[in-house]
Amino acid sequence: MLIKAKNLVKSYKSEGVSHRIVDQVNFSMKHGEFVIVKGVSGSGKTTLLNLLAGILTPTDGEVYFEGSDITKMNDRQLSQMRNQRVSYIPQNDTLLKTLTLWDNLHLPFFLGKGGEITGDQLDEKLTELLKEFGLWDRRNAYPSELSGGEMRRALIIRAMALDPELILADEPTASLDPDTTLSVMEKFRTVSNRGIAVLLVSHQPQTYSYGDRLYEMKDGKLRPAKDHR
């Protein structure tokens, strides 16, 4: 099992009253699975991703990544996991405006997130991905020159470039038109077919059929959804 959440709880206090944003979630994923979590804004989807990425500490429960409880990891261990094994695409994530697409895609490597990969290997990998995702001719463009769909594809490439085992994506198609949304979802399907697990949260019905499994987050609770509609 790649990742597993057990009795996961995240609570916040407001005016002395405790509110459960994530409430007793039990969930697991295997390598190469594509799982989509649907739910309205405020249902706890983003908080769940942050817990699974080790960005937030749960109030109760455990998160296991390949058998290791990340809630017991120190900051160095968590950073190593996120830098080398888990890629996170936050909602409204973007690229640095002052760098070209090519330089933006190299930035994680220069920040020490490359693990064992060399610069030459990264160049080769990025060249392959840019061509596959239709962005090779845009590699010297700046973010302001990219369309919304091109930006999303670029963020997927950046997430894939260092060969993670898991990609967490928070509403990656939220601001896109329907055709671009479907194109981006096809790219996530490609990622999954390569053996990289993808956990994607979305409130857009047109995205739901792309996953191997569909869940619904409601009032902090995660349950299998009845269908892909």
> ∠73-28-151 over CA atoms, to 5°?
80
Q: In residues, how long is the chain?
A: 229
SS3 labels along 123-143: HHHHHHHHHHCCCHHHCCCCH
Q: What is the pLDDT of residues 170-191, one digit of tens each?
A: 998 887 888 888 988 998 999 8
Q: What is the pLDDT of residues 119-153, one digit of tens each?
A: 888 899 899 999 988 999 999 999 999 998 899 88
CATH topology of domain 3-224: Rossmann fold (3.40.50)
Q: Name 64's bridge partners.
A: 4, 69
Q: What is the pLDDT of residues 14-45, one digit of tens each?
A: 877 888 999 999 999 999 999 999 998 888 99
pLDDT at 84: 81
Q: What is the pLDDT of residues 190-227, one digit of tens each?
A: 989 999 999 999 999 999 999 999 999 999 999 999 76
Model confidence at 113, pLDDT cuts 50, 70, 90, reads: low
pLDDT at 108: 80
Please count the CA atoms within 13 angstroms of the CA of 224 that sit on its side-chain side.
5
> ∠174-140-127 over CA atoms, to 5°?
85
Tell me 19's DSSP state. E
What mean pLDDT is predicted for residues 46-70?
95
Model confidence at 112, pLDDT cuts 50, 70, 90, reads: low
pLDDT at 11: 94
pLDDT at 105: 93
Sketch the domain layout of the chain as residue ranges. Answer: 3-224
Q: What percent of the chain has pLDDT over 90?
A: 60
The region that residue 77 occupies, defined by phi over 0 for left and psi between -120 and 50 for alpha, beta otherwise, is alpha
User: How far is the C-alpha of 153 from the C-alpha of 174, rounded, in Å?
Assistant: 14
Position 151: which residue type?
Answer: M
Q: Which of 227, 229, 186, 222 has the alpha carbon at shortest distance from 204?
A: 229
Model confidence at 79, pLDDT cuts 50, 70, 90, reads: confident
Q: What pTM value is reported for the model?
A: 0.88
pLDDT at 82: 84
User: How far is the C-alpha of 90 from the C-alpha of 148, rounded, in Å?
Assistant: 15
